[in-house]
Amino acid sequence: MEKCSKCGKKSVYSAQHGPLCESHFLRYFEKKVLNTIKNFKLINSKDVVAIAVSGGKDSTIALDIVAKYCEKRRIKFFAITVNEGIKKYREQTIKDIKKFCKEKKIELKEVSYKKEFGMELDKMIPLAKKKGWDKTPCSICGVLRRSLLNKYAKKWGATKLVTGHNADDEAQSILMNLYKANKDQFVRLGPATGISRKEFVQRIKPLYFCLEKEVELYTKLKKYSVQLKSCPYSSESFRNYVKKNLWKMEKDYPGTTTSILQTYLHILPTLKKEFMETSTPKKLRKCKLC
Ligand code: SF4
Please provide the DSSP assignment of 216-228 as one string.
HHHHHHHT-----
DSSP character at residue 36 = H
pLDDT at 183: 87
100 lines ligand 1 (CB under 6 A): no
Confidence of residue 194 (pLDDT cuts 50, 70, 90): low
Collapsed DSSP state (helix, strand, coil) of residue 37: helix
Q: Which atom of ligand 1 is the closest one to the Cα of 137? A: 7
29 lines ligand 1 (CB under 6 A): no
pLDDT at 261: 97
pLDDT in tens, 120-156: 999 999 999 898 888 889 889 999 999 999 999 999 9
166: left (phi over 0), alpha (psi -120 to 50) or beta: beta
Nearest CA to ligand 1 atom 6: 231
* 198 has a pLDDT exceeding 90: no
pLDDT in tens, 31-63: 999 999 999 999 999 999 999 999 899 999 999
The helix or strand, by DSSP H or E, that contains position 126, with its residue range, turns out to be: helix 121-130
Q: What is the DSSP string of 184-224?
A: HHHTT-SSB-S---TTSPEEE-TTTT--HHHHHHHHHHHT-
Proportion of the chain above pLDDT 90, given as a percent: 77
pLDDT at 114: 96
pLDDT at 196: 60
What number is the average pLDDT over the span 15-21? 93
138 lines ligand 1 (CB under 6 A): yes
Distances (CA, A) of 43 to 69, 205, 260: 10, 11, 25
Strand partners, 109: 80
What number is the average pLDDT over the span 87-102? 93
In whole angstroms, what is the distance from residue 254 CA to residue 235 CA?
24
Q: How far is CA 129 from the centre of its chain?
A: 28
pLDDT at 289: 63
Nearest CA to ligand 1 atom 3: 138
| 288 or 133, which is more confident | 133
User: How many CB atoms lie under 10 A from the CB of residue 117?
Assistant: 17
pLDDT at 195: 55
Nearest one of 27, 24, 84 to 54, comparing CA atoms = 84
Q: How far is CA 188 from the centre of its chain?
A: 14
In the chain, count of helices (H) and strands (E)?
11, 7
Q: How far is the CA of 41 from the centre of ligand 1 (A)?
A: 29
Classify the C-alpha dihedral 25-27-30-33 as positive or negative.
negative
Q: Which atom of ligand 1 is the closest one to the Cα of 54? A: 6
Nearest CA to ligand 1 atom 1: 141
pLDDT at 281: 66
pLDDT in tens, 228-250: 788 898 887 889 999 999 999 99
Rounded (10°) angle between helices 238-252 and 167-179: 110
Torsion angle of C-alpha atoms 105, 111, 115, 116, degrees rounded to 10: 160
pLDDT at 203: 96
User: How many CB atoms lie under 10 A from the CB of residue 58?
Assistant: 24
CB 111 within 8 A of CB 83: yes
Q: How far is CA 193 from the centre of its chain?
A: 11
Question: Does the pTM of the predicted model rise above 0.75?
Answer: yes
